[in-house]
Amino acid sequence: MIRRLRARHRVMILLLTPILPVILLVALVGRSPVPPTGLPRELADPRDPSLVPVGAEWTLLQSPRIQARFLARQGDSTPAAIVLDQIQQPTLPDLLLYWAETAGDSTTLPADALLLGPLEAGKQLKLPASNRGYLILYSLAHRERVGFAELPLVRSGP
């Protein structure tokens, strides 16, 4: 290698020697805590075997068409959970189901919205103690409300 290039090479290495370790250190020290993968325990597997179906099957949404069943404790007509059935494939990915006292508007969730879980057929989603309110299907990625329905008054027995 000719001397001029050798000198340039030496300068480059002398510059990189302090810079690169600092860059790596900054990257390692400044990294954010990684959120736990998966859903919180209460959302991940909220299946409660003591719950029994109450009321008739209910159409939560027409488009995409989503049917739902309510579950309640023995002798109690207040729904404690909801199970989504016959989910028509939605056009948006990763939809989430929320409960709120109000329906909110088309782009934002109400401040009191409570995440019930992902839109997934057969999954038991725990409802809050209040038997009134709205179920809201929301796309977090698109930040838009896909649909909503007011919780019906559920009666036990046929």
Residues that bind another protein (CB under 8 A): 1-6, 8-10, 12-14, 16-17, 19-21, 23-24, 26-28, 30-32, 34
Rounded to the nearest whole angstrom, what is the least distance from the CB of residue 30 to another protein in the complex?
Answer: 3
The residue among 12 and 153 lying less far from another protein, judged by its C-beta, is 12
Beta-strand (E) ranges in 21-123? Answer: 52-61, 66-72, 81-85, 95-100, 114-118
The residue among 116 and 146 lying less far from another protein, judged by its C-beta, is 146
Walk across the sheet containing 66-72 and list its strands.
Answer: 52-61, 66-72, 81-85, 124-126
Query: Nearest to residue 127, comparing CAs of 57, 65, 77?
Result: 77
Rounded to the nearest whole angstrom, what is the least distance from the CB of residue 21 to another protein in the complex?
Answer: 6
Rounded to the nearest whole angstrom, what is the least distance from the CB of residue 42 to another protein in the complex?
Answer: 21
Rounded to the nearest whole angstrom, what is the least distance from the CB of residue 148 to another protein in the complex?
Answer: 24
71 within 8 A of 53, measured Cβ to Cβ: yes
